[in-house]
Structure 1
Amino acid sequence: MHNSRMFDWDDLRHLIAVSRQGSTLAAAKTLGVNQSTVHRRLAELEKGIGLTLMKRNPSGYRLSELGEALIDHVLAVETAVVTLEQHIRTLKLDLKGVIRLTCPEPTVPRIMATGLLDRFHARYPDLRVEFVTSDRYLDLTKGEADVAFRSGEPVDESLVGRKICDSIWAIYASKSYLQQHGRPGGIADLADHALIGFDGIMQNHRVAKWLPFAVPNARIVSRNNSMLGTLSAVKAGVGIAPLPTTLGDAEDVLVQVLPPVEALTRSWYLLTPADLRRTPRIAAFVDQVLEDIPALRQALIG
Structure 2
Amino acid sequence: MLDWNDLRYLLSVVRQGSTLAAARALGVNQSTVHRRIAELERQMGLRLVHRHPTGYRLTEMGEQLLPALADVEESIAKLQRTVLGMKHDLTGTVRLTCPEPVLSRIVASGFVDRFHDRYSGLRIDFIISDRYFDLANGDADVAFRSGEASDERLVGRKIAESTWAVYASRDYVKRRGHPHSIEDLLQHDLIGFDGVMENHRATQWLASTLPGARVAARNNSVLGVVAAVKSGLGIAPLPTPIGDAEGELIQVLPPVQALARAWHLLCHPDQRATPRISAFIDFVIEELPALRKVLGG
Q: Distance in 1 between matches of 2:252 and 2:280?
A: 38
Partner of 1:189: 184
Q: 1:296 to 1:88 in 2, by over 3 A?
A: closer
Alpha-carbon distance, 1:94 to partner: 7.4
Equivalent in the alignment of 2:123: 128
Q: Which runs of 4+ in 1 moved over 4 A?
A: 1-4, 87-94
Length-normalised TM-score, structure 1:
0.70
Change (3 A) 1:248 1:116: same
State the Cα distance separating 1:93 from its structure 2 match: 9.3
Name the structure 2 match of 1:222.
Answer: 217
Residue of structure 1 aligned with 2:135, choices 130, 133, 140: 140
Judge which range, 229-238 or 213-222, deviates more.
213-222
Q: 1:180 to 1:143 in 2, by over 3 A?
A: same
The SS at the match of 1:107 is helix
Match of 2:93 among 84, 98, 101: 98
**Contact 1:95 1:280 (C-alpha < 8 Å) held by counterparts:** yes
Q: CA shift at 1:114, angstroms?
A: 2.1
1:234-245 to structure 2, matched below 5 A, reads 234-245=229-240
Structure 2: unaligned runs, 5 residues or longer: 8-63, 66-78
Contact kept, 8 Å, 1:94 with 1:281, in 2: the verdict is: no
Matched length: 223
> d(CA) in 2 for partners of 1:221 and 1:120?
42
| 2:101 partner amino acid | P
SS at match of 1:257: strand
Of 123, 146, 154, which residue of structure 1 is paired with 2:149? 154
In structure 2, do the counterparts of structure 1 residues 271 and 257 end up closer, same or farther at CA, with 3 Å as the change threshold? Answer: same
TM-score under structure 2 length normalisation: 0.71
Q: Which is greater in Rg?
A: 1
- For residues 106-128 of structure 1, the C-alpha deviation after alignment (integer angstroms, 9 at most, x for no partner) is 10111112222212111211111
- Distance in 2 (alpha carbons) for counterparts of 1:133 and 1:288: 20
- Evaluate the alpha carbon distance shift between residue 92 and residue 192 of structure 1 in structure 2; reply closer, same or farther with a 3 A threshold: closer
Shift of 1:90: 11
Partner of 1:114: 109
Identity %: 58
Question: How many angstroms does 1:172 deviate by?
Answer: 0.3
The 5 A counterparts of 1:1-302 are 95-302=90-297
Q: Which amino acid aligns with 2:233?
A: V
One-letter amino acid matched to 1:139: D
Counterpart for residue 81 of structure 1: none
Q: Determine the structure 1 residue equivalent to 2:38.
A: none
Name the SS of the counterpart of 2:225 in structure 1: helix
Paired letter, 1:278 = A
Q: Any idea what the Cα deviations from partners look like across 1:164-215, whole Å, max 9, x if unmatched?
A: 1110000000010011110112001111100011111110111011101110
Amino acid at match of 2:93: V
